[in-house]
Amino acid sequence: MGIDLWQTRAPTPSFLARTGSKDRELWRVLAFPVLWSSVGLLIGAVLYFTAMSFSDELSRLFPTTAYGLRAAPLGRVRADQVAPNLGLMGEARRLLLIAAGPAGFAISTPLIGRWLMQRPALTWFTAAHKFRWRMLLAGLVMYCAATGLMMVVGGLANGFPKSPPLFRADEPLHVRAVYLVVSTVALLAAAAAEEVILRGWLLQQTAAFTRKLLIVLALNAVLFAFIHLDRDPLRNVALFASGVCLGVIALRTGGLEFGIGVHAGNNLMLAWFVATFPLGDLNGQMRLGDLIAQLIVTFSGLGLAELTVRWRPLRRIAFWT
């Protein structure tokens, strides 16, 4: 018997099958992004000012110290492209503020979808009857492990990063612990927002008009690369590959949970062990070797999702059963 590619005898992957006739009505299709973006901006503004107040409290509890100038980890930069190193509390505050706005869209998309498309809000996140937190955790833990292995290999070959955030000797242990928690919450929220817009709304909306999976996945990956506004061609190749893999993961697992974990895991490993996020793109041009390493890590996420789908013990832990 042949392999059933999508683990289902239905003609459409379960996550895409949640769309209905209203998803094909033109006025609803056009109104959806206008409404969810408007409401998302309002909710994001509330979350932003809430995060600002909370981060101000963090700064009072753990005073931020400027350690000097933070330059780019790779390549030369202009003087106006370096920023003061405000310590881990300053970085935690910035991560919260960066994630707060996008988090508004993670809330507005399913809410507007429920009202406009008249189907359950959960269907923009998963085809399961409830959000699968264990699936998200499985994607996060396994992808962090795979990325960590690649970091060790890269470190042995090219040298390890200097002063990774969680091992900064100039920061007290309790400050690093706070940074660990805050960065986890912030980057999980940011990943959920990006996934529900691109792999939730856009993937399903495209599939409402065509069942050709190559078109659905390719369009999603192109837009995923486009919204990052990166001028480096090789980095755009890496982004396109990430978009394809995250789209396939959503179809293979029947929802966004595993992909949110993978997406967040990628950013968290950078925030924890490489360098705190720069204000701009200061990393220079991606080299071919870096692209190959990035593609290996990216496709490892897809391989881990496939393992979760096919290996019964892991499926029992992370999947529907």
308 in any annotated domain: yes
Q: Measured between alpha carbons, how far apart are the two ends of the chain, in Å?
A: 24
b (16+ CB within 10 A) / e for 92-110: bbbbbbbbbbbbbbbbbbb
In-domain check, residue 153:
yes
Query: Which stretch of 69-73, 175-179, 294-298 has the lowest confidence by average pLDDT?
Result: 69-73
Domain encompassing residue 53:
16-318
The structure's pTM equals 0.86
Question: Per DSSP, what are the bridge partners of residue 83?
Answer: 70
- pLDDT the model gives residue 75: 47
Q: What integer pLDDT is reported at residue 149 of this predicted model?
A: 87
CB distance 265 to 147 below 8 Å: yes
**Residue 254 domain-assigned?**
yes
- How many folded domains does the chain comprise? 1
Residues contacting residue 48 through CB under 8 Å, at least 6 positions apart: 97, 100, 101
Distance CA(261)–CA(309), nearest Å, equals: 15
Does residue 2 lie within any of the structural domains?
no
In a domain, 8, yes or no: no
Residue 203 in domain: yes
Helix, strand, coil percentages for the chain (3-state, nearest 5): 70, 0, 25
- Report the chain's mean pLDDT, rounded to a whole number: 82
Assigned domain for 6 exists: no
State percent of the chain over pLDDT 70.
85
pLDDT digit string, tens, across residues 230-258: 777 888 888 899 999 999 999 999 999 99
Tokens of 169: 């000797």
